[in-house]
Amino acid sequence: MKVVIVGGVAGGATAAARIRRLDEQAEIFVFERSGYISYANCGLPYYIGGVIENPQQLTLQTPESFFSRFRVHMKVHHEVTAIHPERKTVSVKKLESGEIFEESYDKLLLSPGAKPTQPRLPGVGIDKLFTLRTVEDTFRIKEYINNNHPKSAVLAGGGFISLELAENLRELGMDVTIVQRPKQLMNPFDSDMASFIHSEMRRHGIKLALGHTVEGFVEKEDGVEVLLKEEPSLCADMVVLAIGVTPDTYLAGEAGLELGIKGSILVNDRMETSIPDIYAVGDAVQVKHYVTGQEALISLAGPANRQGRIAADNICGGDSRYPGSQGSSVIKVFDMMAASTGLNETNAKKAGLDVDKVILSPMSHAGYYPGGRLMTMKVVFEKETYRLLGSQIVGYEGVDKRIDVLATAIHTGMKATELKDLDLAYAPPYSSAKDPVNMAGFMIDNLADGILKQFHLEDLASLPHDGSVTLLDARTAGEYRRGHIDGFVNIPVDELRERLGEIEAGKPVYVICQSGLRSYIACRILAGNGFDCYNFSGGFRFYDAVMHDRCLIETAFACGMDKN
């Protein structure tokens, strides 16, 4: 059997190695148009910032090492220019010489990945405008920085690459501004949870121009002018376009393969395309979202690697199936970690699901053990069924552990109420006897049993201030003085039983505290005394972070954001 693979990196290289492990006799060719067949795409920004010092650490395998171990013919600087399904060949161009030849195949695997989205804007293509996707892109940016010592950069886009690059450029001492059309960074997160990411970025000096549209670029002698719609221009020594990626599927389309979202390649759960003996994997393919079953594009290394293995199994006569992508991810944001899995609340509602959520602020480990840090967790679930849909966590140590537990729970089809039953490892330096995941389960179980009733940030504006309800802040008097929501009166939870007479009977009571715990206790006291009580999800800490962030977003330019 002869297998031709178009593209290396994650999916293609994984498939090549797996095919060899399953079939020692297979003849395997990989054509990669860049100079690198297997590299750590996610590590590229960290080389630019100097965290990864040796460029050879970015390349996981070389053509020589891959051939030595797997006897796979890795052909770099070879671009496949056409696919001929009718005669089962591909046209290949040797980029270094210009020679063109045809290579036959029995099985063909497409792993072309995705390319940086290049908007049709004035100025795209100027010398000081970069994209970051390949090792060559990385070296180009690194060389420019080393030779020109830029003091400022504008990054267009607010996804993974942009945030990682912003951090690394900032660590080099550069003044960094991120421009993003949506009013938040990191679309896997809901806007409320993104507030904590924004705060960490600002704390380290990153300027955020959120809700602003880039309309073009003008190269100046001393840098680049970034034109914004209906706002003053920004100027910087360099600009990086990081507004997303587009499936690189020109070849597939020309060959007559069926295409889907944004021109992605349609595949079944065996990673087979619409043409026999042609498979496709990675960022170029349309998949099903594991939670909704709806069609999706999810460009992450983990799914690409798993798809490469599944395609290899099936090429070698097996019957492996890809269940769909869940979108689990984690990112370092300076000192913080931000992680998500499954559906966020926004996308769950777009999918037509009736959802609810709990928001909590647990410690990363036992409070009595030194060094614990708060994390903010949001767990989204379906009303009535309590099907677990997704989660987002922002914090410090322990974030990755909890998101992986929740990702596993979603994959196994657990109900959100069942999180309380998970038997998770505990020692004071690492967790609490009631792990944060368990705590989320306790809260959701209380909702299911009617013990807890909630109101959320989006409900605040509709709460009446005409005396028909009681708005109660259960924090200490000192906390209340340092900041509170207008209309909420202060009765600390530890004084509540003695001051019940101050709360008018027969009126619903809406209670808030700092994180949601004391207000829950207050609600239980009130419910035990005949009151109809609602607890504010997330507490004043969450409210303050989100509202402060929204104010900064709306007033960024009005408040004199530095435009260099």
Q: Which residues are identified as catalytic?
A: 42
Cα 464 to the chain's mean position, in Å? 37
DSSP sequence for 22-72: H-TT-EEEEEESSS-SEE-GGGHHHHHTTSS--GGGGEEE-HHHHHHHH--
Centre a 10 Å sphere on the Cβ of residue 283 and count the other Cβ atoms it contains: 28
For the chain, how many residues are written? 564
CA dist 159 and 400 (Å) reads: 18
Of 320, 273, 321, 267, nearest to 296 by C-alpha is 267
**Contact between residue 448 and residue 417 where contact means Cβ atoms under 8 Å apart:** yes
C-beta of residue 158 within 8 angstroms of C-beta of residue 182: yes
76 CB contacts (<8 Å, ≥6 apart)? 32, 34, 35, 36, 37, 63
- State both tokens at 222: 């001393």
Angstrom distance (rounded) from CA 123 to CA 273 = 37
CA distances from 444 to 355, 431, 439 (A): 12, 20, 9
The Cα angle at residue 16 between residues 14 and 22, in degrees rounded to 5: 100
Q: By CB neighbour count within 10 A (0-12 exposed, 13-18 middle, 19+ buried), where does 273 fall?
A: buried
Amino acid at position 366, single letter: A
Strands (E), 383-491: 388-395, 454-455, 470-473, 489-490
Judging by DSSP bridges, how do beta strands 175-180 and 207-210 pair with one another? Answer: parallel
Burial class (CB in 10 A: 0-12, 13-18, 19+), 551: exposed
Nearest residue to 223 via CA among 182, 181, 177: 177
Structure tokens given for 335:
């000192």
